[in-house]
């Protein structure tokens, strides 16, 4: 059994992999927006919704800290090296041991978390103590949702292995199952329960089961990945575990700042937790579609470059990935700022979500979105360190950035309340980005002057786009239909202006995108193509 090599090491390969992940993540994010709309309609932005969002934040935080923040960055480089040295069978042995060890550890952690749920909730949302009924509800929801961390961490391990093997489609599609399950829980199950919010929690748990289940058939087909194993003597497993500790903090600085914000916001007026949640969800939309998709494709690519002793290719992947990331996130930042209020009203203002909630959510969105480009860039910079098995540097940088962010949050939450907490998160991301970039420059992996010039160019184009959009949103549109027309027109106009500026100024990052589009169009136009003659359906590369 061999791995097909189809050029994923070039910029074209990274763009292609990111386009696969990004296009399917778009579907997931649309389903996620639908889920949030249903949640806002059914539960609004009051104490019950606040209780669910705090309870759901516990397993989500652990998922991002342990799974995405530590497990994936530590596992993928070791897995790629094992794949190169020992082939598919050697990589499968590593996966089996890591999967079994992780399952045992997380089962214990889940049981402990359910027992200690009152203490965890009290520490996470101490302000809820003034409302015993809300505190009790949050504890109950946390106990229901705690197994989610077990399911999602195992899913993250499976996705890391599949991405390195070249399978991107099914892992990127899996989050759709979570969103659909939560919609089902809110719409169908909640009305049948005495406490309707429990239906939403049950939907989230079902979504975790479905996400893991979708990965298993591909792993079964790929080789002996799913054979039970309790042999933990593999040195690669212990290397992975050594890398996980520092990576947990280094890869999740933003999420830790969100957790700190949750503690602080629990002291603010009711609804503040929900306003920050919905604003953060809108910021995560462009991040998921492009930034995280690009980072997903970049980590295996850079790990393969290091395993092949190709430092020049590593630097090129890092440089081009950062450029692509800023090309997309700067206009996303300005566009979200320009249309923040009508966008929030269009998506959420119905049912129990009132105009006051829209106004406060839009204010939080303004503050969160300032950090979007830098938060996105940190995901790529951190992966540059992880690909060379350096998880300590991002951890130290993240710890200092978080300390500065906490200080900013304490200072800003007084005059700005929940908006100040969102702004502090953005400042944390900016500090994290600046320090990581400076270290990579000192190590010779990143040239800062060209990157700064590129950032200035994309920011100036984005500001011009924003100035052109601003008159369109000066007067609020009436009704859902008017808001829809306003938002769609703004998106089309903004995208058109930015694209024209990119073409006029000969943006270099458009070339691989243009080549990819031409290749896909040529493939569709090719007559008589045998059904099995192209790349596998589950990604640009696959297991043969």
- When comparing pLDDT for 288 and 210, which is higher? 210
- When comparing pLDDT for 80 and 335, which is higher? 335
- Min mean pLDDT across 183-187, 237-241, 371-375, 492-496 is at 237-241
pLDDT for the residue 29: 76
Q: How large is the average pLDDT for residues 266-282?
A: 86
Contact 314, 306 (CB under 8 A): yes
Q: How large is the average pLDDT for residues 136-145?
A: 94
- The span from the CA of 204 to the CA of 520, in Å, is 36
pLDDT at residue 13 greater than cutoff 70: no
Contact 477, 483 (CB under 8 A): yes
Range with the largest mean pLDDT of 65-79, 200-214, 232-246, 375-389: 200-214
Range with the largest mean pLDDT of 26-35, 77-86, 123-132, 435-444: 435-444
For CA atoms 211, 212, 216, 219, give the dihedral sign: positive
Angle between helices 235-250 and 72-115 (to 10 degrees): 80
Contact 70, 218 (CB under 8 A): no
Residue 361 backbone dihedrals phi, psi, to 5 degrees:
-65, -40
pLDDT at residue 241 greater than cutoff 90: no
Query: Tokens standing for 521?
Result: 């169009």
- When comparing pLDDT for 531 and 17, which is higher? 17
Q: What is the pLDDT of residues 498-539, one digit of tens each?
A: 989 988 888 877 765 565 455 545 554 454 444 333 333 333
Q: How large is the average pLDDT for residues 110-134?
A: 90
pLDDT at residue 224 greater than cutoff 70: no
pTM of this structure: 0.66
Range with the largest mean pLDDT of 256-265, 302-311, 384-393, 451-460: 451-460
Q: What is the pLDDT of residues 242-258, one digit of tens each?
A: 767 666 655 555 566 66
- When comparing pLDDT for 260 and 245, which is higher? 260
Q: How large is the average pLDDT for residues 314-341?
A: 89
- Percent pLDDT > 90 in the chain is 26
HSE, CB side, 13 Å, CA atoms: give it for residue 196: 14
Residue 444 backbone dihedrals phi, psi, to 5 degrees:
85, 15
pLDDT for the residue 251: 52
Confidence band (pLDDT; 50, 70, 90) for 188? very high
Single out the residue of 375, 246, 385, 241 nearest to residue 302, CA to CA: 385
pLDDT at residue 347 greater than cutoff 50: yes
pLDDT at residue 295 greater than cutoff 60: yes
- Min mean pLDDT across 170-174, 179-183, 317-321 is at 170-174
The residues near 401 (Cβ < 8 Å, ≥ 6 apart) are 253, 428, 429, 431, 432, 435
Query: Tokens standing for 174?
Result: 């899996």
The mean of the pLDDT values for the chain is 80
Residue 509 backbone dihedrals phi, psi, to 5 degrees:
-80, -10
Confidence band (pLDDT; 50, 70, 90) for 384? confident
pLDDT for the residue 508: 78
HSE, CB side, 13 Å, CA atoms: give it for residue 326: 24
Confidence band (pLDDT; 50, 70, 90) for 453? very high
Q: How large is the average pLDDT for residues 465-480?
A: 83
pLDDT for the residue 21: 63
């Amino acid at each position: 059994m061999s791995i097909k090599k189809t050029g994923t090491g070039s910029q074209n390969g990274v763009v292609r992999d990111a386009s696969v992940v990004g296009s399917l993540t778009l579907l997931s994010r649309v389903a996620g927006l639908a889920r949030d709309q249903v949640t806002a309609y059914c539960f609004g932005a009051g104490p019950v919704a606040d209780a669910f969002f705090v309870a759901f934040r516990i397993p989500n935080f652990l998922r991002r800290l342990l799974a995405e923040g530590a497990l994936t960055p530590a596992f993928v480089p070791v897995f790629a090296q094992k794949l190169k040295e020992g082939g598919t069978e050697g990589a499968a042995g590593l996966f089996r041991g890591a999967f079994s060890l992780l399952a045992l550890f997380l089962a214990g952690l889940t049981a402990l978390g359910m027992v200690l749920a009152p203490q965890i909730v009290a520490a996470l949302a101490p302000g809820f103590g003034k409302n015993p009924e809300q505190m009790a509800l949050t504890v109950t929801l946390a106990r229901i949702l705690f197994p989610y961390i077990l399911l999602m961490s195992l899913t993250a391990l499976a996705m890391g292995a599949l991405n390195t093997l070249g399978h991107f489609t099914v892992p990127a599609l899996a989050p759709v199952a979570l969103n659909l399950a939560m919609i089902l829980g809110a719409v169908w199950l909640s009305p049948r329960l005495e406490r309707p919010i429990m239906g939403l929690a049950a939907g989230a748990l079902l979504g975790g089961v479905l996400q893991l289940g979708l990965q298993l058939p591909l792993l079964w087909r790929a080789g002996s990945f799913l054979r039970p194993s309790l042999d933990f003597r593999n040195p690669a497993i212990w290397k992975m575990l050594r890398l996980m500790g520092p990576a947990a903090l280094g890869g999740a600085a933003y999420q830790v700042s969100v957790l700190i914000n949750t503690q602080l916001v629990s002291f603010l007026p009711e609804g503040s937790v929900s306003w920050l949640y919905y604003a953060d969800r809108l910021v995560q939309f462009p991040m998921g579609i492009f930034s995280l998709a690009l980072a997903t494709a970049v980590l295996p690519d850079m790990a393969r470059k290091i395993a092949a002793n190709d430092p020049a290719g590593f630097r090129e992947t890092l440089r081009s990935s950062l450029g692509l990331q800023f090309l997309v996130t700067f206009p996303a930042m300005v566009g979200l700022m320009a249309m923040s209020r009508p966008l929030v009203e269009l998506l959420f203002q119905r049912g129990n979500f009132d105009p006051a909630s829209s106004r406060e959510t839009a204010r939080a969105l303004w503050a969160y979105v300032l950090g979007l480009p830098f938060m996105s860039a940190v995901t790529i910079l951190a992966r540059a360190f992880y690909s060379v098995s350096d998880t300590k540097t991002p951890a130290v940088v993240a710890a200092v950035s978080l300390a500065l962010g906490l200080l900013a949050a304490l200072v800003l939450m007084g005059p700005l309340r929940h908006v100040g907490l969102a702004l502090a998160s953005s400042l944390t991301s900016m500090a994290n980005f600046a320090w990581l970039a400076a270290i990579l420059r000192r190590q010779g992996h990143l040239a800062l002057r060209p990157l700064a010039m590129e950032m200035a160019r994309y920011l100036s184009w984005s500001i011009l786009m924003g100035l052109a959009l601003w008159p369109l949103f000066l007067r609020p549109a009436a009704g859902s239909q008017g808001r829809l027309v306003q938002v769609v027109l703004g998106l089309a106009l903004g995208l058109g202006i930015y694209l024209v500026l990119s073409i006029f100024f000969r943006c270099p990052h458009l070339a691989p995108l243009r080549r990819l589009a031409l290749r896909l169009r040529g493939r569709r136009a090719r007559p008589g193509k045998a059904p099995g003659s192209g790349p596998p359906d589950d990604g640009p590369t696959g297991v043969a």
